[in-house]
Structure 1
Amino acid sequence: MKFKSVLWVVLAFGLFWAAIPLTAGAATASYTLTVDDKKLNSPLAPQFKNGATFVPMRAIFEALGAKVSYDSQTKRVSGQRGNRSVALTVGSTKAYLDKSAITLQQAPMTVGSNVYVPLRFVSEALGAEVEVDASAKTINIRTAEMELTVTEKLPVSMTIQLKHAGNVKLKWWFQDESPYQHYQGFVGPDGKLIFKSFDEFITTDKEGKVLSRETYEDAEETSFDVKLDSATGKYNIAAERDGKSYSWSQIPLFDMSFSYPLRLYGGEAVDSYRILNGVIDKQGNLITLTEKGVSAFNAKGEQLWNYPFEMPSDDPLLSFIYYPEVQVDSANHVFIQTFGSYAVLDPQGRVILSGEGYSSPSIMSDDTLLMEGSSYRLVDDKLKLLASPYYNDGSAGTYASSDKENSVARLDPTTGQTLWTYKQAAEEKQRGYSLSAYTLVVDGQGNSFISTNGGTIHALDPEGQMRFKLTIDHDTSTQILPLTPTTFVAVAGNLVMCFEIENK
């Protein structure tokens, strides 16, 4: 069996206890021993000797769910949990892990009439982890991963480790050759999956077979050349797109010319301006931000409609944040996403849908709208859901996650009482990773998935017990799409993976 490195535990004890000589029998009541953040049910305190931590034999074995026996004649201590076993002898540094001989740094000892065993060896031999919090003066034994007995490295170009109970396998995967690619995943209609890259939509079946690739309709950036008419203070605009030329006259643009350097033509500076998120609709009208809001103009410069919007800040640097995103579908519906709210307009500029929050869709050529892992379509001026991941519809209970606490909790939907709480391991936090609350998803059976800001997935069953852990030390969170009770897709940057889970 491969032991995890817990160097931080050794260092913590080495630095903290080096200046305080302790002997066997010197109890340190200021430190509390806990198991999954709950105080160990034992009146006996941990003991420290030469930088090692010792705990009462029976209390620690029983807390870890192991059967324990002690032979007073041979002074042999034995523990058995599932298919894992450990055996130690008081006064001897020789121990056995699953019948393989191991040499301990410190031998088990007796304090009075009680047998004490090395905490770190016994805990990790049985699959638990040891966490030391010097500020809180606690030694916590974390049992979350004890049932995950299988560890395997996945056959992908990233370094990804899957730890599970022998019931999770990688079904299929694909990866873009560019490490800078970043996919987003969606469940499409008719049992299909859709993955959006920087420049195309890739549609697959649920077995990962690519069915089609569609380049964005606006993938080739539309370049707007804008010249200020100093006499009127308005702008004359020209653009080229798909081999066609467009122009609009006397447009009262929202002035962001400070944001861009002058363009150079033949080495000569030209007063030029590029419109952020300006779009050309199917009738050749320009839709862009003006001083009064998002407006549409025909080629004569006549305003067709206006959606009132006022920049919430006069700070030039913040204008980039608040600038509205505008998209148009093939039927000339206009989708506007502002900072904290959205609206859908019909071709005449009338609002047909609006709300708070973020609901900016990716629009495919057939007007399928992709948002938050699901697919939609506008039908009779209403948003119709076509397909979505296997999400909890509320019947599986209420779940919450806190960035501050790095935790996931299940709540009683009636009383709001916390039924259980899962907390991130200290070792992972010390490596600079935290649970990202916005990535939390719950499937229809109450299984929850959450990613760290580095991409590692923690998967929990409805009782808060870890089902598996997919370790990805990346630079961003992983998107999780439950497909069925036994399959899910993980999207990590330029990598898409589909997993199958066997229920045991």
Structure 2
Amino acid sequence: MKLRWILAGLVAASLAFHSTSLQATAASPSYSLTVDDLKLNSPLSPEFRNGVTFVPMRAIFEALGAKVAFNGKSKQVVGQRGDKSITLTLGSKTAYVNKTAVSLQQAPLTLNNNVYVPLRFVSESLGAEVELNAASKTINIRTDEMDLTVTDKLPLMNDKGESILLKHQGNAKLKWSFQDESPFQNYEGFVGDNHTLVFMGHREYFVTDFEGNELTTEVFEDVSYAEIEAVKSSDGYDIKASKGDNNYSWSRIPLYTKTNVSPQLIIAGEPSYDYLVVNGNIDSDGHLIILTKDGLAAYDDKGERLWAKQQFQTETGVLSAFEEDMQLVTDSSNNIYLQNEAGYAILNAKGETLLADNGYFAPTILKDGTLLFNGRVYKVENGKLTEAASPYGGGGRGAYSSLDSENTLKKMDPATGETVWTYKQSQMEKQRGYSLFASTLVADGIGNAYISTTGGTIHSLDSQGNLRFILVIDNQTITGTQIIPLSPTTFVAIDNNLVMCFEIANG
């Protein structure tokens, strides 16, 4: 973490002079003063006067990277950092920030011939934050946001109807954005192939290029589940099913009843297997896909069995069709997506296995066969599930770590596992009720880290721990903003019904 240089030594840390203004006797030091958790190298301690914390002028200004000057004749203290200046006058409750008058609770004063200035005003005027820790008797000045000297009010609103703000170093801008008219929309973003982006909403999805130009808008495949009921007959089960507006029936199906069925009736305290609700599905040709004693099977509308499969070959063995918790989805090409307790399988309309593996895979299916799952875009090609594209840097966490319980972002040394630096959320943000959302953490290909708060606000740091920007969203509902790095200088942020793309120079 970049630390502000701190003046060492009593002579450099205070400006002594003789004055006829208010003189006071410094109380015994009770609190220590730190900058970015490092103790200020000065024997002078903070002083408390009528609810205001005063600190030694030169020590605090120079610790915050500001040049300081005192004019004995006018009794004015001037601090200059970049294009920001602060002017205070001994005995006056009026200060100036870049020539704009600001009222103070208390005027600057002298204690034992040392000039003391109001800590909170000086620190926050320069962009720092004051943290008071009563337990450790420490006043810490956080300088993370001091370089974020530019605040842009964006033409976008959070869920409270307030403008979203972009705080940066003069090198960031909003490239393009899209906000759905419905406040109940909730987009999820994906990087597609050929430099495209896919944004999945409630009922439809749209595709753009990296410049935000819309390429297509489509509704999702109809992958709704069929309602299937079975009644026991003398030679199997009679099936009645419905899907959408269509009704179907089959007779004498040798239904497998040990798993993936639910009895409809309880007789004499025992479940009856004469009347069942059954897991299965109907494809676009009206074929029944259901688990039978002979395995997963397909039947045409005349009741003829088309195929049956008891198991599916994986790279490490076989996946049984008879496992519990089976779910079946079909697409417009009548490919079948099976998920059960042991794994998943993708079959074509002939029942041939395209892919099978252990684990969980329940994708959203687009019309062109693209599969969206867990933030990634996949396609089934040559019997393999391949990732079509990924965010810049892979969309992973890189060398970073964040835990909700710690409310911090840490960079870890991959060789030793030790913490290289730690970024803490600001006290002001905590007081507004927000915390860092660990599940939103992502790193790009050059080590920039992005993490959202529970209100959607994004914090981004470079690999050295320097704060790059803060996108202040501050929703009233708990929501983590999804972050997709596209390049070393661009990223997309998705927050509920809002999609935004930003460019950060020298990223």
The TM-score range, normalised by the shorter chain, is: 0.7 to 0.9
Letter in 1 for 2:260: F
Which one is further off, 326-335 or 458-467?
Answer: 326-335
The 5 A counterparts of 1:479-494 are 479-494=482-497
Who is 2:504 aligned against? Answer: 501
Tell me the secondary structure at the aligned position of residue 433 of structure 2.
coil
Distance 1:431 1:367, change over 3 A: same
Which one is further off, 230-239 or 64-73?
Answer: 230-239
The 5 A counterparts of 1:14-33 are 25-29=26-30, 31-33=31-33
More strand by share: 2
Unmatched runs of 5 consecutive residues or more in structure 2? 1-23, 266-273, 312-319
The 5 A counterparts of 1:143-162 are 143-158=143-158, 159=162, 160-162=164-166
Q: Does 1:43 align with 2:43?
A: yes
Counterpart CA distance in 1 for 2:41 and 2:278 is: 67
Counterpart CA distance in 2 for 1:216 and 1:40 is: 60
Which whole-Å deviations, capped at 9, do the CAs of 1:159-198 have from their partners, x for residues lacking one? 3222122222222212222211111111111111111111
Who is 2:139 aligned against? Answer: 139
Who is 1:366 aligned against? Answer: 368
Counterpart CA distance in 2 for 1:227 and 1:95 is: 82
Counterpart CA distance in 2 for 1:207 and 1:191 is: 9
Counterpart CA distance in 2 for 1:418 and 1:104 is: 41
Who is 1:12 aligned against? Answer: none
Counterpart CA distance in 2 for 1:429 and 1:274 is: 50
Counterpart CA distance in 2 for 1:289 and 1:110 is: 86
Tell me the secondary structure at the aligned position of residue 58 of structure 1.
helix
Counterpart contact for 2:222–2:331, Cα < 8 Å: no
What TM-score, normalized to structure 2? 0.78
Who is 1:8 aligned against? Answer: none
Which whole-Å deviations, capped at 9, do the CAs of 1:326-379 have from their partners, x for residues lacking one? 44456665545568x7533445476944355x5533222222222344322122
Distance 1:60 1:377, change over 3 A: same
**CA shift for structure 1 position 490:** 0.9
Which one is further off, 433-442 or 71-80?
Answer: 71-80
Who is 2:269 aligned against? Answer: none
**CA shift for structure 1 position 275:** 6.3
Which whole-Å deviations, capped at 9, do the CAs of 1:259-310 have from their partners, x for residues lacking one? 9xxxxxxxxxxx998767x4334665555689x9x95554659764363676
Who is 1:180 aligned against? Answer: 184
Q: Does 1:425 align with 2:431?
A: no
Which whole-Å deviations, capped at 9, do the CAs of 1:75-97 have from their partners, x for residues lacking one? 33221111111121233222221
The 5 A counterparts of 1:231-310 are 236-241=239-244, 245=248, 247=250, 249=253, 251=255, 252=257, 254-256=260-262, 278-281=280-283, 284=286, 286=288, 295-296=296-297, 298=299, 304-305=309-310, 307=320
Who is 1:446 aligned against? Answer: 447
Tell me the secondary structure at the aligned position of residue 440 of structure 1.
strand
Letter in 2 for 1:503: N
Counterpart CA distance in 2 for 1:140 and 1:325 is: 55
Counterpart contact for 2:395–2:485, Cα < 8 Å: no
Distance 1:492 1:131, change over 3 A: same
Distance 1:288 1:471, change over 3 A: farther
Which one is further off, 494-503 or 31-40?
Answer: 31-40
The 5 A counterparts of 1:456-467 are 456-467=457-468
Counterpart contact for 1:391–1:443, Cα < 8 Å: yes
Tell me the secondary structure at the aligned position of residue 439 of structure 1.
strand
Which whole-Å deviations, capped at 9, do the CAs of 1:21-64 have from their partners, x for residues lacking one? xx8623452x3322223333333222111111111222211221
Letter in 1 for 2:411: R
Q: Pairwise CA RMSD of aligned residues?
A: 3.5
Distance 1:254 1:126, change over 3 A: same
Larger gyration radius, structure 1 or structure 2 = 2
Q: Taking every aligned residue pair, what percent have the same amino acid on both sides?
A: 50
Letter in 1 for 2:222: D
Counterpart contact for 2:392–2:444, Cα < 8 Å: yes
Counterpart CA distance in 1 for 2:37 and 2:276 is: 59
- The one of 203, 206, 229 equivalent to 1:226 is 229
Counterpart CA distance in 1 for 2:136 and 2:323 is: 50
Counterpart CA distance in 1 for 2:238 and 2:27 is: 83
Distance 1:217 1:329, change over 3 A: closer
Letter in 2 for 1:25: A
Tell me the secondary structure at the aligned position of residue 152 of structure 1.
strand
Counterpart CA distance in 2 for 1:52 and 1:182 is: 46
Distance 1:222 1:53, change over 3 A: same
Which whole-Å deviations, capped at 9, do the CAs of 1:201-235 have from their partners, x for residues lacking one? 2111222222112211116x444152554999977
Letter in 1 for 2:344: A
Letter in 1 for 2:42: S
Letter in 2 for 1:498: C
Who is 1:319 aligned against? Answer: none
Q: Does 1:194 align with 2:198?
A: yes
Tell me the secondary structure at the aligned position of residue 155 of structure 1.
strand
Who is 2:89 aligned against? Answer: 89
Unmatched runs of 5 consecutive residues or more in structure 1? 1-22, 260-270, 312-322
Who is 1:203 aligned against? Answer: 207
Distance 1:430 1:95, change over 3 A: closer
The 5 A counterparts of 1:281-430 are 281=283, 284=286, 286=288, 295-296=296-297, 298=299, 304-305=309-310, 307=320, 326-329=328-331, 334-336=336-338, 342-347=343-348, 348=351, 352-356=355-359, 359-391=361-393, 398-430=399-431
**CA shift for structure 1 position 124:** 0.7
Counterpart CA distance in 2 for 1:234 and 1:133 is: 72
How many residues are aligned here? Answer: 453
Counterpart contact for 1:363–1:370, Cα < 8 Å: yes
Counterpart CA distance in 2 for 1:331 and 1:223 is: 17
Who is 1:19 aligned against? Answer: none
Letter in 2 for 1:137: K
